[in-house]
Amino acid sequence: MVRVRFAPSPTGFLHVGSLRTALYNFLFARHHGGVCILRIEDTDRTRLVEGAIEEQISSLAWAGVEFDEGPHVGGNHGPYIQSERFDLYAKHAELLIQNGTAYYAFDTAEELDAMRTRQQQAGIAPKYDRSSMRNQYTLGENETKRLLAEGAPRVVRLHVPLHEEVRFHDEIRGDMVVHGREIDDQILVKSDGFPTYHLANVVDDHLMEITHVIRGEEWLPSTPKHVLLYRAFGWDMPAFAHLPLMLDAQRKKLSKRFGSVMAQDFRDQGYFPAALTNYVALCGWNPGTEQEVFSMAELQQAFTLERVSKSGAIFDYNKLQWMNSQYLVAADPVELATEIKPLLDERGYAYTDLEFVASVVTLLKHRIHFLKDLVEFADYLFSDTLTEVEQGAWQSIAADDALRTALSNINSSLTEECLQTPDAFKAMIAQAAEAAGLKSGKVMKPLRLVITHREVGAELFDTIKLLGIDRTKRRLTEFVA
C-alpha cells in the first residue's frame, strides 16, 4: 500500500511550492488508493513562526488537499507533530551510538568556528573534521564517559564512511551517487537534546511506513545522509522523488520579490482554490495530452511521477489568471452569485436578488478574471447611485446638442418591443439617431456612458435588457433633463 507524507516545517505560511509538494503527494496517494499523512516538522525550535501551523493547515484544506490519518482538525485529518515525539528520536539516536554508526562530539561553537576558518584558509570545503576535533574517537572511551557523566554539552553526529559511495535511485532524476568523503558528519541530536531534521525525518518516515518520499529538489543534498541513516538503522529505504524547483519568469527561484508566492495571497486575490491547484499541478507535471483544465478527480486519475519534469518549472502568473477565468466561465452562475452576494450586500447595493446577480454573472463572466471584480465592474447593474464617470467624455456628450436629442429620442422610443431582438433594438437606435441627424454608430458609445458610466462592457442590448426599461429610462431622463 502506498503511504506518503507532506512534512512542512512551521517556519512560515504555506508557499505555493509547498502547496505543490502537498498536492503531488495527495494526488499520488489517491492515484494508488494509498494514504497521505500530514506531519509537522517542528524540531528547529528557533525558527518557529507563530500561527504557521494553523495557517498551513487551513490553506491546505482550502486548496482541497486532504489527509487520511491523524486526529481530526476542522473536518480534515490533523497532523502528527514531531515536538510531541521527542523521546522517540533520542531513543533512536542511542541505538546508533550503540552500533557505532553515530558518535558524541563535544566541540564548542568557538572550536567549530576555528575549524571552519582553517578549512577556508586551506581552500577546502567546510566539513566536520572527525580526526582533529573533540569527539569520542579523539578523546577516547574514558574521557568520553567522564564528559557524559558530568553532563558536558555535546551533540550526536552521524559517522559517515569516508571510503564508500552512497547510491540511491530517484524516481524523477534516475540513479544518484555521492562519495562519502563529500558528506558531512551530520549532527543528529543537537546540544539542547532536540533531534535535527535529518534524524527525526528518517525515524518518522520509517515508523510511519512511508513508501515514497516526494519532496522539493532543495532536499536532494540531504538524501545521501538519509540513505546512510537507513543503512545505520538496518531499515529498508522508501523510494525518493525530488520535485523540480518553481521558478519565476527570469528562471530564478520563485520569491516574493516578484509577486505573490503564498497560498494565502492567492486566496485573498480571489482565486478559486480549484483553479490554483489545477494550475499548480501543471507546474512541473504534464499529463501528456493537450488537456489543461482538470478537476481534482481527473488529476488524481492522471497524475504519475513519470510525467514530473526534471527541470525547473516556470510559474506563470498570466497562465494562472487564465486558469481562473476558465473556472469562472464554467462555474454555475447561481453558485457564483451565492458566493459573491455577501460582498454586494456589504456595499449596500440595491439589486442583489440572487437570480438577478446570476444573470449579471452570466453577462459579464467573460470580461473579468475574478468573481469579486464584478463588484466594481458591474456596479451600474447593482446600484442606481453612480458617481464615478470619465468626466471629459461625459462633458462632451452633454455639450453636444445633436447627441442629447438622439439620447432623448432613445428615451422616448425605448419599449419592451424593441428589447425583443437585437435587430429591433438596433432599428430603434438607428431611427432615434437619424431623427437627430446622426448615424447610429455615433450614439452607441454615449448611450453606454450615460447608462453605465463606463466606456466598455457587454453588448448594450443585453445590458439594457438586464437593467430593465425603467432603470434605463431614469438614467436617460436624468441626463437629458
As a whole number of angstroms, the distance between CA 154 and CA 88 comes to 19
Question: Is there binding between residue 9 and ligand GLU (CB under 6 A)?
Answer: yes
Stretch that binds ligand GLU, among 5-13, 62-70, 119-127, 349-357 (CB under 6 A): 5-13
How many beta carbons lie within 10 A of that of residue 132, not counting itself?
A: 10
As a whole number of angstroms, the distance between CA 307 and CA 157 comes to 38
Question: Is there binding between residue 7 and ligand GLU (CB under 6 A)?
Answer: yes
Stretch that binds ligand GLU, among 4-12, 182-190, 364-372, 441-449 (CB under 6 A): 4-12
Of the candidates 138, 216, 222, the one whose C-alpha atom is nearest the C-alpha of residue 186 is: 222
Q: What residues contact residue 5 under an 8 Å CB cut-off, 6+ apart? A: 25, 36, 37, 38, 39, 204, 205, 208, 210, 213
Helix (H) or strand (E) holding 76: strand 76-77
Question: Is there binding between residue 79 and ligand GLU (CB under 6 A)?
Answer: no
Q: Within 307-326, which residues bind ligand GLU (CB under 6 A)?
A: none
Contact 30, 237 (CB under 8 A): no
Closest separation in Å from C-beta 197 to ligand GLU: 6
As a whole number of angstroms, the distance between CA 246 and CA 263 comes to 14
Number of shown-chain residues binding ligand GLU (CB under 6 A): 8
> Would you call 145 a catalytic residue per the annotation?
no
Closest separation in Å from C-beta 203 to ligand GLU: 12
Question: Is there binding between residue 15 and ligand GLU (CB under 6 A)?
Answer: no
Closest separation in Å from C-beta 74 to ligand GLU: 22
Cβ distance to ligand GLU smaller for residue 14 or 358: 14
- Look-up: residue for cell 515508523? 207
Of 62, 219, 230, 370, which one interacts with ligand GLU (CB under 6 A)?
219
Of the candidates 162, 169, 168, 198, the one whose C-alpha atom is nearest the C-alpha of residue 183 is: 162
Cβ distance to ligand GLU smaller for residue 18 or 264: 18
User: How remote is the C-alpha of 444 from its chain's centroid?
Assistant: 43
How many beta carbons lie within 10 A of that of residue 310, not counting itself?
A: 13
All three cell numbers of 169? 535511485
Closest separation in Å from C-beta 5 to ligand GLU: 7
Closest separation in Å from C-beta 3 to ligand GLU: 14
Stretch that binds ligand GLU, among 3-11, 180-188, 275-283, 370-378 (CB under 6 A): 3-11
Of 157, 198, 215, 242, which one interacts with ligand GLU (CB under 6 A)?
215
Catalytic entry in 256, 341, 426, 442: 256
Question: Please, which residues bridge with residue 105 across strands?
Answer: 135, 155
Question: Is there binding between residue 8 and ligand GLU (CB under 6 A)?
Answer: yes
Burial zone of 74 (CB within 10 Å; 0-12 exposed, 13-18 middle, 19+ buried): exposed
Q: Within 34-53, which residues bind ligand GLU (CB under 6 A)?
A: 41
Closest separation in Å from C-beta 168 to ligand GLU: 14
For residue 206, CA distances in Å to 175, 203, 226, 442, 446 come to: 22, 5, 11, 75, 71
Question: Is there binding between residue 168 and ligand GLU (CB under 6 A)?
Answer: no
Question: Is there binding between residue 223 and ligand GLU (CB under 6 A)?
Answer: no
As a whole number of angstroms, the distance between CA 236 and CA 250 comes to 41
Contact 180, 174 (CB under 8 A): no
Closest separation in Å from C-beta 241 to ligand GLU: 11
Half-sphere exposure at residue 86, Cβ-oriented, CA atoms within 13 angstroms: 12
Helix (H) or strand (E) holding 169: strand 165-170
Stretch that binds ligand GLU, among 2-10, 159-167, 401-409, 413-421 (CB under 6 A): 2-10
Q: Within 384-423, which residues bind ligand GLU (CB under 6 A)?
A: none
The site for ligand GLU (CB under 6 A) is made up of 7-9, 41, 197, 201, 215, 219
Active site residues: 256
